[in-house]
Structure 1
Amino acid sequence: MEWFLELSSIQQVYWIVTGISTLFFLFILFSTFLGFDTDDIGDVDAEIDADTGAGFQFFTFKNMVGFFTIFGWSGISSLNSGNSTFLTIIISTICGLIMMTVMAALFYYINKLNDSGTLKMENAVGAVGEVYLTIGANRSSIGKVHVRVQNSLRELEALTDHEENLTQGTVVTVTEVTSNGILIVKL
């Protein structure tokens, strides 16, 4: 305690901010690694682009913790280097803002890596596939084809306008998708 009391008031403020924010940072870090969801803490996050999913989130709980952690440690380092109080505040604020920007960009780009996995049938048009179950001629019966859609091999129902049945193993191309999601294929 004597060590703390010997510090100047600005150093005490920086150590208090650093201590509290570092504890929060470590809590978030360990809870993330252990699989606990700390997003509930940041339910008051402000999104700049709220209409398109996650958006670029600058003012989040995690970003604020990152700001104050880097703000505190860079301020302590700056003061220990002999910089003035004004220069220390400028340096630590800039370092904190850089950290917030890096974290916001990191979370933004990580969230863009998410894929919903929802099949958009219109993406099948033009795809080449193989008949799995015989497709009746002139749309007489529904068959099935294996076709790669959205980088995933799918087994989908199909019809054809061809004059003969399309049997198993026949290579076909998807020409259109009906309103109820059935593929129309041709040789």
Structure 2
Amino acid sequence: MWFESLSTSEKIYFIIAVVASILLVIQIVLMLFSLGGASDMDFDGDFDGVDGDMDADGGLSFFTIKGMTAFFALGGWCGFAAAMGLPGNIWAPILIAVATGTVALLGVGFAMRGIAKMQCSGNIVKHKLVGQSATVYVSIPESRKGRGKIVLTAQDTYLEIDAMTDDEERIPVDTRVKIVEYNEDFALVERL
């Protein structure tokens, strides 16, 4: 059988590549039917005496499921090809797999960032958001130390926008805020 004739490293690359490729195809099919990439979760329960807070950064994220799947798929196939083409050489296929996987990871990260920017632009006139009130959806770190998120309905559209504040205290979830300035890709807010 063909698979049995492969070396151990070739088998490892092949298995990683096949599994990651199958996962990548599943992700693409789910995205086509608007089932993939959704991170909405719903929970109904009660925790007595538990208080929590969560930070989120609206910046570029490379280490996502899509990015890691692309890393292993492309890295696996390139590593497999390099192992087949360079028998006996262990390090070259590893370096080739890591390099091509990293290119795939970065490519997916930048592509997702571009897609997210396209979703946010639309027909929203951003300077008209200044003065609008909103609700904090993800807590906003103090003194522009990071980004949170706010939600509001403006211009007949429900919006979720990255936000920062100049306040010296973190603004927790569900706090009402006012947009005082809108920069290139985030709103500057203050408590109401």
Choose the corresponding residue for 1:72, options 69, 73, 76: 76
Q: Is the 8 A contact 1:41 1:61 kept in 2?
A: no
Per the alignment, residue 37 of structure 2 pairs with 39
- C-alpha displacement at 1:120, in angstroms? 4.2
TM-score by length of 1: 0.54
Q: Is the 8 A contact 1:63 1:104 kept in 2?
A: yes
Give CA deviations for 1:101-147 in whole Å, capped at 9, x if unaligned: 11101111221222273664378xxxxxxxxxxxxxxxxxxxxxxxx
Give CA deviations for 1:53-105 in whole Å, capped at 9, x if unaligned: 4x201100000000000011101111222261211000110100011011101
Per the alignment, residue 116 of structure 2 pairs with 111
Matched, 1:59 2:94: no
CA gap 1:93/1:42 in 2 versus in 1, 3 angstroms: farther
Q: Which amino acid aligns with 2:37?
A: D
Matched, 1:99 2:97: no
CA gap 1:5/1:42 in 2 versus in 1, 3 angstroms: farther
Q: Which amino acid aligns with 2:64?
A: T
**Higher RCO, 1 vs 2 (CA within 8 Å, ≥6 residues apart):** 2
State the 4+ residue runs in structure 1 displaced beyond 6 angstroms: none
Bigger CA radius of gyration: 1
Q: Percent identity of the aligned residues? A: 23
User: Number of paired residues?
Assistant: 115
SS in 1 for 2:63: coil
- C-alpha displacement at 1:36, in angstroms? 3.0
- C-alpha displacement at 1:19, in angstroms? 1.0
TM-score by length of 2: 0.53
Instruction: Name the Cα RMSD after superposition.
Output: 2.8
- C-alpha displacement at 1:38, in angstroms? 1.6
In structure 1, C-alpha distance between the alignment counterparts of 2:129 and 2:21, rounded to whole Å: 50
Matched, 1:5 2:4: yes
